[in-house]
Amino acid sequence: AQSHASLVEFGQKHVTKGLGRVVEAVITKAEGSYVTFGDGRQMLDFTCGIGVTNLGHCHPKISKAAADQCMNLVHGQCSIAFHGPYLELIQKLLPMMPHPSLDSFFFWNSGSEAVEAAIKMARTFTGRQNIINMQGAYHGRTFGAMAVTKSKTIYSEGFHPLMPGVFSLPFPYWHQLGVPVDTPSSKMSEMCLNQLSLLLSQATAPHDTAAILVETVMGEGGYVPAPPEFLKGLREICDKHGIMLIIDEVQSGYGRTGKNYAIEYSGVRPDIMITAKGLANGFPLSGVISRKELTDKLKPGSMGGTYAGNAVACAAAVAAADVMKEENILDNVNARSKELFAALNALRANPKVAPAILDVRGQGLMVAVEFASPVGTGPYDAFRNPSIPEKLASRVAKRCVEKGLLILTTSVYEVIRFIPALNISKEDLAKGCRIFAEAVEEVVN
Ligand code: PMP
């Protein structure tokens, strides 16, 4: 057998440099909230493969459902015929929708593809072209999705020109508005909605605007929940002008925030909703959901994709929907969320680290800690002063990994995100919080 070190070396030589990596290692096994590497290290996983394996790695019921499906039908092809798991999944999802009007489904493989489909649909439904997105948004890496992504230049640097017709609005996040960290979200929402009025009167007329696209919790832009009044304001403006409201729940959806979909916190009705990541607990599957009255405007054949709505992925998703119910996942999310916030707020109250922590925020088990920049006021310093040391958040995340906790940063700001499995145990959550607290103390002092 090849040694772990030689395999890593092989990967470094032959896997494209275009991929970033948190750990220079080979994952050999993963189970529940733990990941094992070929060098023998085992880590507690607070990443869930970026918010995907929400019911734990290799959940036995989901893996079995996928294995069973493999013996029956692997590839049905959605443009040839219906297949059972596709329809069964819709039956499971219908009662979980945040609004009963969401009754027309199209499954894809990835979040990016679903975003592309949502943009095509919005253009068809309205006969208009332009899209309003949010500063700091992340929607994916394909050309349309990349054009509406504004969280980091690394996603588009060197890849221009992008899809035209995209107009960006500030998101109610204090960094973007240049206001103090404790500015009430109602104030920030009002500022952003005013900007929207300006955008619609100065840059893209309502009659040229097909959709407003927004993440319910801005993920790659810093783990910032959209305030309900902001989402309600967007809904009102969409209603007034016949603009489609596209809600991207790829990262925030499917139990992650303690509701089936985070949009439920605002009660706002999406015209189009995008779901992916946790939907099939690791199998590639995404969904674009709208209402039949609108999707009836699509010409047959205008949507499709070789692997779209794959039978094994759908069977895994059916099992995942069952597990969500059987294991009372939302209850666990809400209980563990309280403990996570308590642990992080206790850390923030610790005088040794308090000055370094600016903010603890999030919903359910989609939670972030934002640090004060060690150098100045924010990410802008990196541009002004190339000699600044590595970001504090990155150093904390690295220290956590050394201590056996796999954890991710997010955004151009100093943010660490917590995305543990939704069925994580009380003990494992506490263990991860302890490791994090130690790492912060060591790094900031
Ligand atoms: N939308 C959001 C909100 C996301 O977080 C992501 C992935 N991080 C995507 C879209 C793109 O999904 P995928 O990587 O599956 O294409």
- pLDDT on residue 354: 87
Q: Which atom of ligand 1 is nearest to the CA of 140?
A: 11
Digit-coded pLDDT (tens) for 294-320: 999 999 999 999 999 999 999 999 999
Helices and strands (DSSP H and E) totals, the chain: 15, 17
- pLDDT on residue 141: 98
- pLDDT on residue 306: 97
Edge-to-edge strand list for the sheet holding 42-45: 27-31, 34-37, 42-45, 405-406
Digit-coded pLDDT (tens) for 216-244: 999 999 999 999 999 999 999 999 999 99
CA dihedral over 327, 419, 99, 308, signed as positive or negative: negative
- pLDDT on residue 151: 96
Q: To test the ligand 1 pocket, which listed residue (138, 217, 252, 307) has its Cβ within 8 A of the most ligand atoms?
A: 138
- pLDDT on residue 378: 55
Burial, 374: exposed, middle or buried (Cβ in 10 Å; 0-12, 13-18, 19+)?
middle
- Which residue has the CA at smallest separation from atom 1 of ligand 1? 139
Once rounded to an integer, what is the mean pLDDT over residues 397-423?
97
- pLDDT on residue 266: 98
State in Å: Cα 113 to ligand 1 middle: 9
Nearest to 262 by CA among 319, 224, 314: 224
Residue 149, ligand 1, Cβ within 6 A: no
Percentage, residues of the chain above pLDDT 90: 92
Residues with Cβ within 8 Å of 40's Cβ and at least 6 positions away in sequence, in order, are none
Residue 144, ligand 1, Cβ within 6 A: no
- pLDDT on residue 2: 93
Report how far apart the first and last C-alpha atoms of the chain are (Å, whole number): 43
* pLDDT of 198 over the 70 cut: yes
Q: What is the mean pLDDT of the chain?
A: 95
State in Å: Cα 139 to ligand 1 middle: 5
Q: Which residue has the tokens 């996570």?
A: 340
CA angle 313, 316, 318 (to 5 degrees): 110
- pLDDT on residue 382: 52
State in Å: Cα 89 to ligand 1 middle: 21
C-alpha to C-alpha distance for 329 and 331, rounded to whole angstroms: 5
Once rounded to an integer, what is the mean pLDDT over residues 125-145?
98
* pLDDT of 246 over the 80 cut: yes
Residue 276, ligand 1, Cβ within 6 A: yes
* pLDDT of 286 over the 90 cut: yes
Burial, 289: exposed, middle or buried (Cβ in 10 Å; 0-12, 13-18, 19+)?
buried
Beta-sheet pairing, 357-363 with 244-248 = unpaired
Q: Which atom of ligand 1 is nearest to the CA of 142?
A: 16
Contact between 116 and 142 (Cβ < 8 Å): yes
Residue 133, ligand 1, Cβ within 6 A: no
Nearest to 69 by CA among 283, 228, 328: 283
State in Å: Cα 157 to ligand 1 middle: 18
Digit-coded pLDDT (tens) for 363-405: 999 999 999 875 554 555 555 555 666 788 999 999 999 999 9
Q: What is the DSSP letter of 283?
A: B
What number of residues does the chain have? 445
286: phi then psi, degrees, rounded to nearest 5: -135, 165
* pLDDT of 435 over the 70 cut: yes
pLDDT confidence band for 337 (50 / 70 / 90): very high
As beta bridge partners, residue 166 has 131
Q: Which residue has the tokens 């772990």?
A: 4
**Residue burial 352-372, b: 16+ Cβ < 10 Å; e: rest:** ebeebbbbbbbbbbbbbbbbb
Percentage, residues of the chain above pLDDT 70: 96
Q: Look up residue 358 and give its amino acid.
A: L
Q: Which atom of ligand 1 is nearest to the CA of 251?
A: 5
- pLDDT on residue 390: 73
Sorted by where each starts, the structural domains of the chain and their CATH numbers stand as 4-55+328-444 (3.90.1150.10), 62-326 (3.40.640.10)
pLDDT confidence band for 148 (50 / 70 / 90): very high
- Between the CA of residue 368 and those of 40, 315, 357, 391, what are the distances in Å? 29, 32, 11, 16
- Which residue has the CA at smallest separation from atom 5 of ligand 1? 251
Q: What is the 3-state secondary structure (H, E, C) of 231-266?
A: HHHHHHHHHHHCCEEEEECCCCCCCCCCCCCHHHHC
